[in-house]
């Protein structure tokens, strides 16, 4: 049994609309720290800048004022009830703690204000909210744009990449003039142009087990726009440990998924996918491709779910997985249940701190390819000396139409096991694909079939285009 914290009506907007919250703690100070870590927006309404409890807020343990006990050191235990009692004496009203709207904001958000489910109160909630976007790419772009336009007061963004020309087909937060510029710099300028009232906090770093809790702790909601499994599991676990909602989105080719993982009210990401797929099994967007408009659809759904959580309006995607098929233009919905054996959000969790997520996802556990890879420059020189060397292109035919290395032989990876007879087992072979991942799989297939003189082109045809033949288009 935990300690029950009763949230007064004026402060419920900063605690997800909840009347009561149960927490594990041993003292009032510990309890309030846990409470404001899980609901960051409460902190500035309970504590002054110097860390002291505000003068207009009193705290009671059961029916006794902590000022007559041991104040923050007052012990609490299972079954205790802690009441937060805001005072309105002296003209200070906690009901007015939500930020007010300027005349400019009233005009800007007028189409929100006339919605009964938003109104002035809802717009003030949006202005008070703090949302963290993990990634400023395909999913983060539409989410950031719509959250800023909607008037979310503080938008945090975690990203460490620079804008690349290949991003522009789908990452609408960035433009051609921003190629080569850090994504955070590009995003901040764009969001400030959309809405100068929004505060943008940037974190130019890779999210890791060492910094995730510190970064996420001060935000109310996290929107996950990551493109790799280690970070996705890291975001999930950090949100569970901190009690934050995790607005999830993912995309691949013509399909997308969306949900809200909030362990306090439903399942987490691990309840849906207990273990990650083996490294390399699921291609990235760079290898598998993605329809440019798809992240716009899924990222907009993430923005919508985030806004609904802030407003406390409608039915969220907690406990539901939304599946979108762009080619069929169809939505399907699956019901999600909490996994009673979930190692993070289950009743007997075994993961109580952040772990090494690259190790968990098998990154770095791949076979060693020392001596089995060749650079583009090395291949060019060797091919010139030995014209009989076979360069084997294992990409798909539609990729071969985009760009090709002159003289290479095309056998798609999916066909390779059935076409081994097309190859000379005694010939020197160098496999290549787009960036190098599929060619390593081809190397393994050939080695297992008895081909002894096989290597892979590191960096694929992209490296060939950059370092050897700029006449080969990059894609």
Residues serving a catalytic function are 285, 433
Please check whether residue 129 is in contact with residue 154, taking contact to mean a CB–CB distance below 8 angstroms: yes
Q: How many angstroms separate the Cα of 356 from the Cα of each of 233, 364, 471?
A: 10, 12, 42
Which token pair is 474? 């990059």
Q: What is the DSSP letter of 193?
A: H
Say whether 209 sits in a helix, a strand or coil: coil
Report the C-alpha gap between 129 and 98 in whole angstroms: 10
Contacts of 18 (CB under 8 A, 6+ apart): 7, 12
Report the C-alpha gap between 51 and 32 in whole angstroms: 11
| Residue that the structure tokens 């004022």 belong to | 65
Report the C-alpha gap between 9 and 18 in whole angstroms: 9
Please check whether residue 391 is in contact with residue 464, taking contact to mean a CB–CB distance below 8 angstroms: no
Please check whether residue 448 is in contact with residue 425, taking contact to mean a CB–CB distance below 8 angstroms: no
Residue 45 burial by Cβ neighbours in a 10 Å radius (0-12, 13-18, 19+): buried
Please check whether residue 299 is in contact with residue 138, taking contact to mean a CB–CB distance below 8 angstroms: yes
């Amino acid at each position: 049994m935990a300690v029950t914290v009763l949230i007064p009506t004026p402060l419920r907007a900063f605690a997800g609309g909840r009347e009561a919250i149960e927490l594990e703690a041993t003292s009032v100070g510990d309890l309030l720290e846990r409470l404001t870590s899980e609901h960051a927006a409460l902190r500035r309404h309970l504590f002054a800048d110097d860390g002291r409890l505000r003068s207009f807020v009193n705290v009671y343990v059961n029916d006794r004022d902590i000022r007559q006990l041991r104040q923050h050191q007052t012990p609490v235990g299972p079954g205790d009830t802690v009441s937060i009692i805001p005072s309105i004496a002296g003209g200070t009203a906690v009901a007015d703690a939500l930020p007010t709207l300027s005349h400019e904001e009233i005009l800007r958000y007028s189409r929100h204000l006339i919605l009964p489910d938003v109104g002035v109160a809802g717009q003030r909630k949006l202005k008070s909210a703090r949302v963290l976007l993990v990634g400023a790419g395909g999913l983060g772009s539409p989410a950031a744009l719509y959250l800023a336009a909607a008037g979310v007061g503080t938008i945090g963004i975690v990203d460490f990449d620079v804008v690349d020309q290949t991003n522009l087909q789908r990452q609408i937060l960035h433009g051609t003039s921003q190629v080569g510029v850090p994504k955070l710099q590009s995003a901040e300028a764009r969001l400030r142009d959309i809405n100068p009232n929004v505060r943008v906090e940037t974190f130019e770093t890779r999210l890791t087990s060492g910094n995730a809790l510190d970064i996420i702790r001060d935000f109310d909601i996290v929107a996950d726009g990551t493109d790799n499994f280690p970070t996705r599991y890291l975001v999930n676990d950090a949100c569970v440990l901190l009690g934050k909602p995790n607005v999830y989105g993912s995309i691949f080719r013509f399909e997308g998924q969306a949900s809200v993982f909030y362990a306090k009210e439903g399942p987490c990401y691990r309840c849906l996918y207990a273990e990650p797929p083996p490294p390399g099994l699921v291609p990235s967007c760079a290898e598998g491709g993605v329809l440019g408009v798809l992240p716009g659809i899924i990222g907009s759904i993430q923005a919508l779910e985030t806004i609904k959580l802030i407003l406390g309006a409608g039915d969220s995607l907690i406990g539901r997985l939304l599946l979108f098929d762009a080619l069929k233009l169809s939505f399907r919905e699956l019901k999600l249940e909490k996994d009673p054996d979930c190692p993070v959000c289950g009743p007997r969790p075994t993961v109580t701190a952040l772990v090494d997520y690259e190790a968990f996802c098998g990154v770095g556990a791949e076979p060693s390819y020392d001596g089995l890879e060749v650079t583009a420059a090395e291949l060019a020189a060797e091919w010139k000396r030995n014209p009989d060397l076979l360069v084997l292109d294992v990409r798909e035919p539609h990729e071969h139409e985009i760009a090709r290395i002159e003289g290479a032989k095309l056998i798609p990876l999916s066909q390779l096991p059935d076409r081994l007879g097309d190859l000379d087992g005694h010939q020197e072979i160098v496999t290549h694909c787009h960036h190098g991942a599929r060619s390593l799989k081809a190397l393994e297939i050939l080695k297992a079939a008895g081909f002894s003189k096989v290597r892979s082109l590191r960096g694929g045809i992209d490296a060939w285009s950059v370092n050897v033949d700029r006449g080969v288009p990059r894609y």
